[in-house]
Chains A and B, each alone.
Chain A
Amino acid sequence: MPLDLICPAGSLVSLKTAIDHGADAVYMGFRDNTNARAFPGLNFDEAQAAEGLRYAHERGRRVLLALNTYPQSDTWQRWTGAVDRAAKLGIDAVILADPGLMRYAVRQYPQLRLHLSVQGSATSYEAVNFYREHFGIQRAVLPRVLSLPQVENVVKHTDVEIELFGFGGLCVMVEGRCLLSSYCTGESPNSAGVCSPPKAVQWMDTPTGLESRLNGVLLDRYGKNEKAGYPTLCKGRFEVGGETYYAIEEPTSLNTLDLLPEMLKIGIAAIKIEGRQRSPAYVAQVTKVWRAAIDAVKENAAGFKPTPAWQAELNKLSEGQSHTLGAYHRPWK
């Protein structure tokens, strides 16, 4: 079925919550840096993963496992060990970014379904088809940088199922091609599974306002009435040419609800909700809205219009309480 709803499971509670509220599949990670949300207190050990799988499979849903950081040479076995565990557990698909690891997975477990992670940075059908030919990937998650016509062009030229991000945090950079976090803190999504890691964050109350710093670098300073968000590096305010502004990206979230009819039309296989680091309550609310919306668009694509109630609900959950259609629709183009 097109437009499968893929929801984030940062914990067993979130996994069950997502399933209960209508996710077709959930995605999770193991409790180490083999995935791009390697945050303390998040993710699954083997027993929890087994329990999550049982819960999902009993209800006819699927569990995907993100192994989407790049294996480091001296700890290669951590990543192959994770592939081994995924195969043993009966995970429905592993989401990989590294070609070396894909080769390992396909050689050891030819039956294991492979998805290309957004961290693989594939933005063209030539790149997507490369992974198809060499490793038999069945689905690719595209970076949040293409417009919908560009996405459509990819879909037209490949047999690989295409998955898009629909809601949640917005990377303005091509995923897998951003080292800003390691430049500032030493840890990047590629090599450490984190962006702007919490341990590098400092909040300081100063006479000129509340300051957020990342490894000592001033990311922003907030006035009395300004709401301070999580200090993600690219969403800070900086000085360029004598002006201080959000030089890279505003602190907004991605929300593509309006684009659902078009996504259905061009044959998008699945919509991914970002946010394994968010609470079970968040997962419940977002899953509920997106389930209703996807059901509605499948029922009647021509007459589809997001309800004000859905948008209000999603806006409440958005970073900076505002949202954008991202690159899919390019107001800035």
Chain B
Amino acid sequence: MNLSLGPLLYYWSRDDVLAFYDEAKHWPVTRVYLGESVCSRRHLLRLPDWLTLAEQLAAAGKEAVLSSQTLIESESDLKTLRRIVGDGRFLVEANEWGAVRLLSEAGVPFVAGPTLNVYNPETLEVLAGLGAQRWLPPVETSRAALASLLERAPAGMETEVFAYGRLPLAYSARCFTARHYNLPKDDCQFRCLDHPDGLPLATREGTPFLTLNGIQTQSAGIYNLIGELPALRELGIASLRLSPQSRHMGRVVDAFQAALAGEGNAADALARIMPGPPVDGYWHGHAGLEYSPESAF
């Protein structure tokens, strides 16, 4: 089992993004997902910049993967998608079925992202037939549901599981960050830049609940499967996806690497630097916001 650094879901300054991936070159991750998968208005890095980063990470020995945009709305979104597919040098993560169409037409292998909604082996088989070599279950998938699906998974298909970070839960054409500032989406003044880990949303009694990240809504709780490595190994999971956060990401990766190496105190080390309450309900087949402390080791 190895580690993947998921796509950066937030909007950071150009310098911060470049510094982040400069560090990532030295982290014990096997692959790095790159690109803007959330909002087409975010432009501080454009596709050529992401491609340059992909080259640099590949030169540093990482497998670079380009993540496609999850919500495609306009012809210009499609144009970017065609350029990502057309580049041809890097593996692409398809995050909606238009990308699957283009990648299968191009005849190249691809990663089937978590928003393709693969809930059963029949759909995974369709994707395998089209060229998917790796896939991610929807983040709401439980261990039991995944086990059941994997009993009949296509041969050779690699499974990657979202294992750490705020859960990406929903996408909209509307921007909730702009809404917070009473700004129209088309003149959002890029307020996402002020919130490198998203904008926290709490209930009226102050309980952290969700995180607003532009057009994406995430959990407030930090999904963390570091205590589930034996179960993940038993299922034959190939990789664990760790979702970028603005601080301590190198230490998050180190904690998972230590846990993979069997170091018993890795989970505690991780718990100390987590930027929010832990959640793991989805994995246990419960509401996503629940947490079962007994499951951590």
Stretch at the interface among B28-36, B163-171, B244-252: B163-171
Asked whether any CB of chain A lies closer than 8 Å to the CB of B231, the reply is no
B180 and A104: CB pair below 8 A? no
- Residue ID in chain B nearest A133 by CB atoms: B101
Contact of A174 among B173, B186, B288 (CB under 8 A): B173
The SS class assigned to the A binding surface is mixed
Contacts of B127 in A (CB 8 A): 99
Chain A residue nearest to B178 (CB atoms) is A332
Known: A177-B171, A180-B217, A332-B184. A130 touches B201 (CB 8 A): no
Which of B102, B120, B148 neighbours the largest number of chain A CB atoms within 10 Å of its CB? B120
Bound together, the chains give a CA A72 to CA B146 distance in angstroms of: 10
Check A180 against B73 for contact (C-beta < 8 Å).
no
Within 8 A of A (CB), among B149-171: 149, 151-152, 167, 169-171
Q: In this assembly, does B106 line the interface, its C-beta being within 8 Å of a C-beta of chain A?
A: no
Q: Which residues of chain B come closer than 8 Å to A315, judged between CB atoms? A: none
Are B140 and A191 interface neighbours, CB within 8 A? yes
**A218: B residues at CB distance < 8 A:** 203-205, 207
Contact of A73 among B99, B149, B176, B201 (CB under 8 A): B149
Segment among A3-11, A43-51, A238-246, A282-290 that sits at the interface with chain B: A238-246
A327 touches B173 (CB 8 A): yes
Q: Which residues of A contact B121 (CB under 8 A)?
A: 73, 100
- The CA of A182 and the CA of B223, in the complex, are separated in Å by 14
- Produce 1/0 per residue, A164-188, CB < 8 A to B: 0000000011101111101111101
Contact B170 A191 (CB under 8 A): no
Tell me the A41-64 residues at the B interface (CB within 8 Å).
none
Which chain B positions have C-beta within 8 A of A179?
138-140, 167, 169-170, 288
In the bound complex, how far is the Cα of B122 from the Cα of A127, in angstroms? 19
Interface residues of B in 212-251 (CB under 8 A from A): 212, 217, 219
User: A146: CB under 8 A from chain B?
Assistant: yes
Least CB separation from B126: chain A residue: A99
B289 within 8 Å of A (CB atoms): yes
Please give the distance in Å from A138's CB to the nearest CB on chain B.
Answer: 17
- Cβ–Cβ < 8 Å partners of A121 in chain B: 96-97, 115, 117
A174 pairs with B171, CB closer than 8 A? yes
> In the bound complex, do residue B120 and residue A130 qualify as a contact, i.e. CB atoms below 8 Å apart?
no
Answer whether residue B286 sits at the interface, using C-beta atoms and an 8 A cutoff. Answer: yes
Is the beta-carbon distance between A182 and B201 smaller than 8 angstroms?
A: no
Answer whether residue B63 sits at the interface, using C-beta atoms and an 8 A cutoff. no
Partner of B199, one of A178, A182, A237, A241: A241
CB of B73 within 8 A of CB of A145, answer yes
Asked whether B73 lies within 8 Å of A146 as measured between CB atoms, the reply is: yes
In angstroms, Cα B115 to Cα A218, docked, is: 28
* Dominant secondary structure of chain B at its interface with chain A: mixed
CB distance from B98 to the nearest CB of A (A): 3
Asked whether A19 is an interface residue with its Cβ less than 8 Å from the other chain, the reply is no
The interface residues of chain B lying within 8 Å CB-to-CB of A188 are: 140
B78, A98: Cβ atoms closer than 8 Å:
no
B5 contacts A by Cβ under 8 Å: no
B170/A177 in contact, CB under 8 A: yes
Contact B186 A333 (CB under 8 A): yes
Contact assessment for B209 and A217 in the assembled complex, using a CB-CB cutoff below 8 Å: yes
Complex interface: chain B residues within 8 A of A71 (CB): 119-120, 122
Complex Cα gap A86–B90 (Å): 43
Chain B residues with CB under 8 A of A125? 98
A151 CB → nearest B CB, Å: 10
Identify the closest chain A residue to B221 (Cβ). A183
Q: Given A179-B140, A186-B287, do A98 and B170 touch, yes or no (CB 8 Å)?
A: no
Interface centre among A177, A219, A247 (most CB of B within 10 A): A177
Interface: B72 (CB within 8 A): yes
Kindly identify which residue among B73, B97, B170 contacts A150, using a CB–CB cutoff of 8 Å: B73
Cβ contact within 8 Å between B119 and A178: no
* A104 contacts B122, C-beta separation under 8 Å: yes
Q: List 21 A-B contacts (CB under 8 A).
A: A73-B145, A98-B122, A100-B122, A121-B97, A124-B96, A125-B98, A126-B101, A126-B102, A130-B97, A130-B98, A130-B100, A145-B71, A145-B73, A178-B170, A178-B171, A182-B287, A184-B289, A239-B202, A243-B180, A248-B217, A330-B185
Which A residues lie at the B interface, using CB under 8 A? 70-74, 76, 97-101, 103-104, 120-127, 129-131, 133-134, 145-147, 150, 153, 172-174, 176-180, 182-186, 188, 190-191, 215, 217-221, 234, 237-241, 243-244, 247-249, 327, 330, 332-333
